[in-house]
């Protein structure tokens, strides 16, 4: 390991570790599981406050995972690879289809602030006043508020799983004082949980958050390491527009060479160089129509 790599690794080891008792604790009552999820969310709040964590990249990666979970809820087969293709290989005249629309909804939601005005742009098929009404349904502590919003939306629009989960995560983010939503509930809940109500739904949301936080903390540390390495090798890139390209990789789950601010051949060479330096990965395993990500 080089001195620079060792320095990065040691620095990132200072990210706070999730206490083992949070995940090993046996939660049998609503009070127990609420205590554990509160501890998990508090820990996540500390992790998200660290400058080493690439926030926009983390949210975009979680948007992909949330969209994948929503596809599973609806019984559709699309997984991460298909979802990426549905958006990043979309031509101007193409429609994204149901899977692409789901992924786009999550991506738009994580890009914008948690204000109602911003949400109305992320969810254009719903009026801002309706979004505000649903969010106002949530009362009490953060997880209770999120569960109440989830239940309210699904009661009024039973098939709107994506909308309900986005707004529930928005309610959670607002209650926690976060500026952007962090997709947590969709990746932790089970399909059957979406039909629960009252205390049963709150219990399921608490459990979902505990499992999701474990994964998000792990992902945060991984992306922080990868982002630090990309920043470290960036000075070696001589292509004009390389700096802007690096910024794109630091904020997006996946990038097509054609989206980079370079001529086509130069963009492909830059991606190959970054792969060679271990700074990004090729995500598709294909020889053509490739996508790259940190």
**Residue range 147-194, pLDDT digits in tens:** 999 999 999 999 999 999 999 999 999 999 999 999 999 999 999 999
170 contact partners, CB below 8 Å, separation of at least 6: 109, 114, 119, 135, 149, 181
Q: How far apart are the first and last CA of the chain?
A: 20
For residue 13, name the pLDDT band (cuts at 50, 70, 90). Answer: low
Please give the mean pLDDT across all residues of the chain: 91
For residue 25, name the pLDDT band (cuts at 50, 70, 90). Answer: low
E strand or H helix at 282, and its extent?
strand 281-282
> Can you tell me the distance from the alpha carbon of 262 to that of 242, in angstroms, rounded to the nearest whole number?
8
Domain 237-293, classified CATH 1.20.58, yes or no: no
Q: What is the pTM of this model?
A: 0.91
Per-domain boundaries in the chain: 29-222, 237-293
Q: Are 203 and 30 in contact (CB under 8 A)?
A: yes
Q: For position 169, what pLDDT does the model report? A: 96
Q: Which of 47, 14, 35 is nearest to 209 (CA)?
A: 35
Which residues does residue 282 pair with via DSSP β-bridges, in sequence order?
292
**Residue range 30-54, pLDDT digits in tens:** 999 999 999 999 999 999 999 999 9
Q: Which of 258, 66, 74 is nearest to 165 (CA)?
A: 66
**Residue range 63-89, pLDDT digits in tens:** 999 999 999 999 888 899 999 999 999
Q: For position 6, what pLDDT does the model report? A: 46
State both tokens at 49.
Answer: 């406050």
C-alpha distances out from residue 153 to 85, 161, 224, 266, Å? 30, 8, 35, 47
State both tokens at 216.
Answer: 């998000």
Q: Which of 119-128, 164-173, 185-194, 281-290 has the lowest mean pLDDT?
A: 119-128
Judged against a pLDDT cut of 90, whether residue 116 lies above it is answered with: no
Q: For position 122, what pLDDT does the model report? A: 82
Q: Which of 14, 93, 53 is nearest to 222 (CA)?
A: 53
For residue 248, name the pLDDT band (cuts at 50, 70, 90). Answer: very high
The angle that helices 55-73 and 80-88 make with each other, rounded to 10 degrees, is 110
Q: For position 3, what pLDDT does the model report? A: 41
Q: CA torsion, points 289, 285, 232, 217, in degrees to nearest 10?
A: 110
The angle that helices 80-88 and 97-111 make with each other, rounded to 10 degrees, is 80
């Amino acid at each position: 390991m080089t001195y620079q790599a060792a320095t990065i690794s040691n620095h990132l080891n200072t990210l706070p570790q999730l206490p083992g008792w949070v995940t090993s604790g046996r939660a049998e009552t609503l009070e127990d599981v609420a205590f554990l999820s509160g501890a998990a969310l508090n820990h996540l709040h500390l992790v998200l406050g660290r400058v080493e964590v690439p926030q926009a990249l983390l949210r975009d990666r979680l948007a992909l995972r949330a969209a994948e979970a929503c596809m599973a809820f609806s019984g559709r087969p699309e997984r991460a690879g298909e979802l990426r293709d549905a958006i990043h290989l979309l031509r101007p005249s193409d429609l994204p289809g149901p899977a692409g629309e789901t992924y786009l909804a999550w991506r738009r939601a994580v890009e914008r602030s948690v204000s109602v005005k911003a949400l109305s742009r992320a969810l254009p098929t719903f009026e801002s006043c309706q979004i505000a009404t649903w969010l106002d349904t949530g009362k009490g502590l953060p997880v209770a508020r999120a569960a109440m919003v989830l239940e309210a939306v699904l009661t009024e629009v039973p098939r709107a799983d994506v909308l309900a989960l986005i707004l529930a995560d928005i309610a959670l983010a607002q209650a926690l004082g976060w500026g952007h939503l962090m997709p947590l509930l969709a990746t932790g809940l089970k399909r059957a949980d979406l039909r629960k109500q009252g205390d049963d739904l709150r219990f399921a949301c608490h459990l979902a958050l505990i499992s999701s936080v474990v994964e998000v903390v792990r992902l945060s540390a991984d992306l922080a390491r990868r982002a630090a390495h990309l920043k470290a090798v960036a000075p070696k890139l001589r292509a004009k527009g390389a700096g802007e390209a690096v910024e794109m990789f630091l904020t997006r789950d996946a990038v097509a060479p054609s989206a980079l601010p370079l001529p086509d051949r130069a963009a492909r060479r830059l991606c190959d160089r970054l792969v060679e330096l271990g700074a990004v990965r090729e995500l598709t395993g294909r020889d053509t129509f490739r996508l790259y990500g940190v």
